[in-house]
Amino acid sequence: MSISFTPELLTPSEQDIASFEALFRHSSAIGATPAGGLHRLAASVEDGAVRDLFATWLTERGFEVRVDAVGNMFGLITFNPDAPYVLCGSHLDSQPSAGRFDGVYGVLAGAVAVASLARQLRERGEVPPCNLAVVNWTNEEGARFQPSLIGSSVFTGDLALQDAWACRDGDGISLKQALQQIGYLGAGRVELEIAGYVEIHVEQGDGLERDGLAIGVVRDTWAALKQRIRFIGEQNHTGPTPMVARKDALLAAAHAITAVRAEADLHGPQLHSSVGRLEIYPNSPNVVPSRVTLHVEYRSPDTELLAAAGDRLDASLKAVAADTSTSYEVESHALRESTHMHHGFAELAYSVGQQLGLPIGNSVTVSGHDAISLSRHYPVCLLFIPSSNGVSHNEAEFTSDQDMRNGLRMLTALLYRACSTPNAYR
C-alpha cells in the first residue's frame, strides 16, 4: 500500500494580509487621480515618492535594499550568502491616468510574501536552499521613456546600460538625468545568482473572471512588433498654401494609421494593432505639420504573421508617402518573439494552487511583462489574478480585495516551495 505525500505550504497570516492592504492603500495615494486611478510615470517625482515608501517598508522589515545603475530596486532576504535567490516582483510605474493595480500589485504582494516567509522560516529555524528577494523594475511601462521593459532588459544584458540611460522623454530629459533627480541612480549592477523568478500580475483581460477562476498560470506569450515611424513633410501656412502644394506629414500619418487598423481587420483575433502615440511638429493650428512620428504596434501569437504584416506595412508606407508628397523613415524596429513559459515552474504553480484549493487554470499573455524579459535567461513563472471586466491602463481598472488576497496566498506558498525545494521545478 503506497501513501501519497503532500508537501507542506506556508501562507500569509491575517497580519500579513493587513500589512499588504495598508501598503497598497499608501501606494495608491501617490500619484492618485481624481477618478481613483494612478498617474505615476517612470522616474517622475511621484515614482520617487513611491520608491521611498517601498524602500522604507523593506528596511523596517530587515531587507537589504540595493539599487542598480538603471534604478532597479532589490529587497534581499539572505539566509545563506552562497545560495542563489528566488526573485519575485514587477513594477511601480504606471501609464498616464491609468490603474493602481497594474504592476504595483506584483511588487507589493511580493514584498509582503517574502517578509512573511522570512519571519516564518526564522520562527521554524529553517534555512532554505535558496534566498529570497523582491524587485521593482524601472520603466516597465514605456510611457515616459521608450522602449518598455528597460530595467529588466538591462538586468538580463539584453539592453546596454548606456543605451538605457540615453532614452529621452518628450521634454528631452534622459532616463539617467531623471533617475538622478529622484535619487535612484544606483551604481553598477546588483549581482545575483538567480534560481528562478516569479511575477504575479492582474490579468488585463476578462478570461479568469469569465471562467470563474482565481489564478491563471501563464503558459505562452504573444509576439509583438513595435516600430517608430516618422513622416517628413514641409511646414507651411494652413491658410494661403494651396491644397495641391501641401506636404502634410499629419495627413500621411492618418493614412498610415488606417492601414495599421486595416491589417488587424484582415486577421480577426489572431492580430491586434494600434497606434497609441503621435508626436506632431510644430503642432500649431495654423501650420501644416512638417514632422509626425507614429508608435505602431502589432501583436500576435504567430511570429510569421507579424513579419508578413510588417512587410505589408512597409509597402503601405511607400504608397502613402508618394500620395502625400512626403517622405518617411523607420526610426526603430523591435520584434519580441512569442515564448513558452518554463514548463516545470508552471506545473509547480498549478499544483500549489490546487493544494490551496484555489480555482486555477492556464492563461496566455498578450501584454508584455518583465517576466518575459527574464524568461529568456532564467526559469520564470508568471501568474495572473482577475481584472474586473478586463479593463486595464484605465482609471477604472479594478481587482477585488479577495482576488488580491488569493494571489498573495498563492504567491507566498509558491515562493516557499520554490526556495525550499528548487528541484521541484527545474
| CATH number of the domain where residue 82 is located | 3.40.630.10
Question: Are 394 and 246 contained in the same domain?
Answer: no
Residues in the chain: 426
Which residue, 310, 336, 362, sits at the end of a domain?
A: 336
Q: Which residues pair with 82 in a beta bridge?
A: none
Which residue, 336, 354, 377, sits at the end of a domain?
A: 336
Question: Are 244 and 280 contained in the same domain?
Answer: yes
Question: Are 307 and 365 contained in the same domain?
Answer: no
Q: Are the C-beta atoms of 83 and 129 separated by less than 8 Å?
A: yes
Residue 324 in any domain: the answer is: yes
Q: Which residues pair with 135 in a beta bridge?
A: 74, 89
- Tell me whether strands 287-288 and 380-385 are parallel, antiparallel or unpaired: unpaired
Give pLDDT tens digits along the chain (426 positions): 344 567 899 999 999 999 999 999 999 999 999 999 999 999 999 999 999 999 999 999 999 999 999 999 999 999 999 999 999 999 999 999 999 999 999 999 999 999 999 999 999 999 999 999 999 999 999 999 999 999 999 999 999 999 999 999 999 999 999 999 999 999 999 999 999 999 999 999 999 999 999 999 999 999 999 999 999 999 999 999 999 999 999 999 999 999 999 999 999 999 999 999 999 999 999 999 999 999 999 999 999 999 999 999 999 999 999 999 999 999 999 999 999 999 999 999 999 999 999 999 999 999 999 999 999 999 999 999 999 999 999 999 999 999 999 999 999 999 999 999 999 998
Q: What pLDDT was estimated at residue 5?
A: 60
Task: Specify the DSSP element, H or E, that contains 60.
Answer: helix 45-60
- Tell me whether strands 291-300 and 360-365 are parallel, antiparallel or unpaired: unpaired
Question: Are 241 and 362 contained in the same domain?
Answer: no
| CA gap 171, 396 in Å, rounded | 28
Residue 2 in any domain: the answer is: no
Question: Are 258 and 128 contained in the same domain?
Answer: no
Question: Are 47 and 185 contained in the same domain?
Answer: yes
Predicted model pTM: 0.95
Question: Are 65 and 125 contained in the same domain?
Answer: yes
- The three grid cell numbers given for residue 263, joined into one nine-digit string: 491589417
Q: 385: helix, coil or strand?
A: strand
| CA gap 337, 76 in Å, rounded | 31
| CA gap 233, 227 in Å, rounded | 19
Tracing cell 514584498 back to the chain, one arrives at 111
Q: Which domain holds residue 218?
A: 14-222+338-424
Q: Looking at the 3D structure of the chain, how many domains does it have?
A: 2
| CA gap 145, 150 in Å, rounded | 9
Find the angle CA(147)-CA(151)-CA(156) to the nearest 5 degrees: 105
| 393 annotated as belonging to a binding site for a ligand | yes
b (16+ CB within 10 A) / e for 12-27: beeebbebbbebbeeb
| CA gap 172, 186 in Å, rounded | 21
Q: What pLDDT was estimated at residue 6?
A: 74
Q: Are the C-beta atoms of 66 and 92 separated by less than 8 Å?
A: no
Q: What pLDDT was estimated at residue 177?
A: 98
Residue 6 in any domain: the answer is: no
Question: Are 233 and 171 contained in the same domain?
Answer: no
| CA gap 255, 233 in Å, rounded | 14
Q: Which residues pair with 360 in a beta bridge?
A: 215
Q: Are the C-beta atoms of 165 and 180 separated by less than 8 Å?
A: no
Q: Are the C-beta atoms of 346 and 381 separated by less than 8 Å?
A: yes
Give whole-number Cα distances, 329 to 111, 248, 286, 313, 408, in Å.
Answer: 44, 15, 25, 13, 47
Q: What pLDDT was estimated at residue 379?
A: 98
Residue 310 in any domain: the answer is: yes
| CA gap 422, 426 in Å, rounded | 7
Question: Are 330 and 265 contained in the same domain?
Answer: yes
| 39 annotated as belonging to a binding site for a ligand | no
Task: Specify the DSSP element, H or E, that contains 302.
Answer: none
- Tell me whether strands 327-336 and 64-67 are parallel, antiparallel or unpaired: unpaired
Residue 90 in any domain: the answer is: yes
| 102 annotated as belonging to a binding site for a ligand | yes
Which residue, 284, 302, 336, sits at the end of a domain?
A: 336
